[in-house]
Structure 1
Amino acid sequence: MEYIRIQSIDHPLFANMHALMKTVFPPEEVLAFEKWRAPLEDEGIHVYVAVHDGEVVGTTEYRYYPALRVAMTDFTIVGRPGLGIGRFLLRNRARDLQRLAAESGTVSLGMFAEIYDPAQATYEFGGIYPMNPYVRREVLSHIGYQRLDFPYVHPSWEEDGSAVGGLNLSFLPADEDLAELPASLVTDFLTQYYSALPNKPDEWHAMMDRLKSTDKLRLLPL
């Protein structure tokens, strides 16, 4: 299996990657094809595909914020069971994030991810069972992710100003004994991460205002 970076919508594998995203994720979670041009050309955004026999069978996107000393996994897709795609993506991403932290002269505190709450998820995720929200949540819990203790929404990637719920903002701490995060770290991260979406819903602004009046956020089991 090959781990190949995509840095242009003109890359011959990008159309397959985008089609896989549209198969697995609901529309509000998928940026339109043409709107990927600028993000892919951003050196700070890392989009990789897992290629097996010339076919895109998985993909992941992530980034590292040296000033905050945190990473973010934007998404991970396992497109086919039985090939070890999830572990392949996990190990390659971890190595690359270690490299990025070392190159910036920082030590990472951990990595954020938005994780579906199975009790609220009604989407079929392409009928691909590794992407079932119950399966994914248990796998991510096993890896070490924990959910942050606050109700979470994010702006829709359809850029219509609507709020997307049904997820938990979660964190994989480098120190597994870490029990909480400064709320200011979370607000700084979310402000930077969603700066690409200027049209934010009232629910998101209200959430951010609540976070700004909070000191610490507990890390709880998934």
Structure 2
Amino acid sequence: MDYIRITNIEDPLFAKMHTLLGEVFPPEEVLEFDLWKEPLEDPSIRVFVAVHNDEVVGATEYRYYPQWNIAMTDFTIIGRPGLSIGRFLANNRQQDLNQLAKENGKVLFGGFAEIYDPYEREDFEFGGIKPMNPFVRREVLSHLGYQRLDFPYVHPSWKNDGEAVKGLDFCFIPTDDKVTEIPASLIVDFLKDYYSVLSNKPQEWLQMIEDLQAKQTVKLLPL
């Protein structure tokens, strides 16, 4: 299996990856094909695919923020069971992030990720791919070391229609296991930057940001 970075919308591997995205995630979570052009060309956004026998069987998108020394995993896709794709992607991603932090003269502080909460909502469709079941994915993140941030989370729909996407938790994985809380300002700064591309923010998201700005720290809770 090969770990290959995609940096161009014309790359044939991207079309295969985008098809896989549509098979796995609900429509509001998938950016339109043409809108991927700029993100793929952005050097700070790292999109890699797992290629097995010339087919895209998995993918992950993530980024490293040198100003905060943190990472964000945008998504991880396992398109086929029985190939250890999840471990393959996680290991390669972590090695890459550790190297980026090292080049920044630091040890990675940690990383954010969103995860569905199937205990709150159960109407998720994931194309029948069992490893992408939200219960499975939640346990995988927990095993990796992610913890739930202690605040009610929503995010703006990637359709940019002003709708709030609910039924998720915002999580953080600290490199140091002794970390039990992180600054609320870090979460606010990150979320404002991360969703700056979406001009149409829902009121629920704006209120969430305002509530976070009133806090000093946010606790890390079991996932």
TM-score surpassing 0.5?
A: yes
Task: Tell me how far 1:124 sits from its aligned partner.
Answer: 2.1
Deviations 1:37-75 (A, max 9, x none): 000000000000000000000000000001111100000
Task: Tell me how far 1:123 sits from its aligned partner.
Answer: 1.4
Deviations 1:68-114 (A, max 9, x none): 11100000000000001000000100011011111122222101000
Equivalent residue for 1:29? 29
For the pair 1:14 / 2:14, whether they are aligned, the reply is yes
Which range is displaced more, 189-198 or 32-41?
Answer: 189-198
Task: Tell me how far 1:35 sits from its aligned partner.
Answer: 0.2
Separation of aligned partners in 1, 2:13 and 2:196: 27
Amino acid at match of 2:159: E
Which range is displaced more, 40-49 or 169-178?
Answer: 169-178
Separation of aligned partners in 2, 1:166 and 1:152: 8
Runs of 4 or more off by more than 3 Å in structure 1? Answer: none
Equivalent residue for 2:192? 191
Equivalent residue for 1:122? 123
Give secondary structure in 1 for the equivalent of 2:136.
helix
Equivalent residue for 2:4? 4
Deviations 1:159-214 (A, max 9, x none): 11111011000001101121111101110111111111121111100000000001
Equivalent residue for 1:44? 44
Alignment of 1:152-163 (within 5 A): 152-163=153-164
Amino acid at match of 1:171: F
Equivalent residue for 1:106? 106
Task: Tell me how far 1:121 sits from its aligned partner.
Answer: 3.6
Amino acid at match of 1:95: Q
Identical-residue share of aligned pairs (%): 64
Amino acid at match of 2:11: H
Which range is displaced more, 118-127 or 52-61?
Answer: 118-127
Equivalent residue for 1:54? 54
Separation of aligned partners in 1, 2:137 and 2:122: 12
Give secondary structure in 2 for the equivalent of 1:62.
strand
Contact kept, 8 Å, 1:66 with 1:104, in 2: the verdict is: yes
Equivalent residue for 1:212? 213
Equivalent residue for 1:69? 69
Gaps of 5+ in 2: none
Contact kept, 8 Å, 1:62 with 1:74, in 2: the verdict is: yes
Which range is displaced more, 142-151 or 120-129?
Answer: 120-129
Separation of aligned partners in 1, 2:27 and 2:125: 12
Contact kept, 8 Å, 1:66 with 1:106, in 2: the verdict is: no
Separation of aligned partners in 2, 1:102 and 1:138: 29
Separation of aligned partners in 2, 1:121 and 1:207: 23
Normalising by structure 1, what TM-score? 0.98
Contact kept, 8 Å, 1:163 with 1:201, in 2: the verdict is: yes
Cα-Cα RMSD: 0.7
